[in-house]
Amino acid sequence: MGQNSADAQKYLKEIALNKKMEYMGYSKVIMPCNYVVSEKAISKDEAIKIINDALPIITNLAVLIKNNQKFDEPKKEHFGKMYSSFINYGFNKYFKSSKNFKVSDSCIKCKKCIEVCPLNNISLVNNKITFSTNC
């Protein structure tokens, strides 16, 4: 999750249930281009700084996963349900686009991204990885 996780807990629980996985919690980790669906990509230097800031958090989460421990979840967001309903609906409808999603020429069409995408947003069309508008 990024800065504002809105009502993410509810949706992550649903995804875990649908995939027959045990929900173990979630954590906020700000990563470069969390919102690449609506904004241009940031510079490489900015991205490296954000990743370096995130590394201790990710390392801690990896230890929890390795030890099969639940995450210490962030407090529920004020107005989380509101963000996850009509605000996100408007954002998704009018500001979000997958046009910034690309794969490089090094893509080997292994389809791993298709298998793991929780929102079924990726497919292989005419032998090319293609992004839909589900995320």
**Could you list the residues that contact ligand SF4 (CB under 6 A)?**
103, 107-113, 129
- In the complex, the smallest distance separating the C-beta of residue 121 from ligand SF4, rounded to whole angstroms, is 12
If the CB atoms of residues 107 and 119 are measured against ligand SF4, the closer one turns out to be 107
- In the complex, the smallest distance separating the C-beta of residue 109 from ligand SF4, rounded to whole angstroms, is 5
Residue 100 CB: number of other CB atoms within 10 A? 14
- Report CA-CA distances (Å) from 105 to 29, 37, 102, 123: 29, 21, 10, 16
Are 74 and 61 in contact by the 8 Å Cβ rule? The answer is no
- Report CA-CA distances (Å) from 28 to 8, 9, 58, 72, 112: 10, 11, 10, 11, 24
If the CB atoms of residues 42 and 124 are measured against ligand SF4, the closer one turns out to be 124
State how far the Cα of 28 lies from the Cα of 6, in Å rounded to an integer: 11
Are 90 and 100 in contact by the 8 Å Cβ rule? The answer is no
If the CB atoms of residues 88 and 98 are measured against ligand SF4, the closer one turns out to be 98
If the CB atoms of residues 50 and 129 are measured against ligand SF4, the closer one turns out to be 129
- In the complex, the smallest distance separating the C-beta of residue 107 from ligand SF4, rounded to whole angstroms, is 3
- In the complex, the smallest distance separating the C-beta of residue 134 from ligand SF4, rounded to whole angstroms, is 16
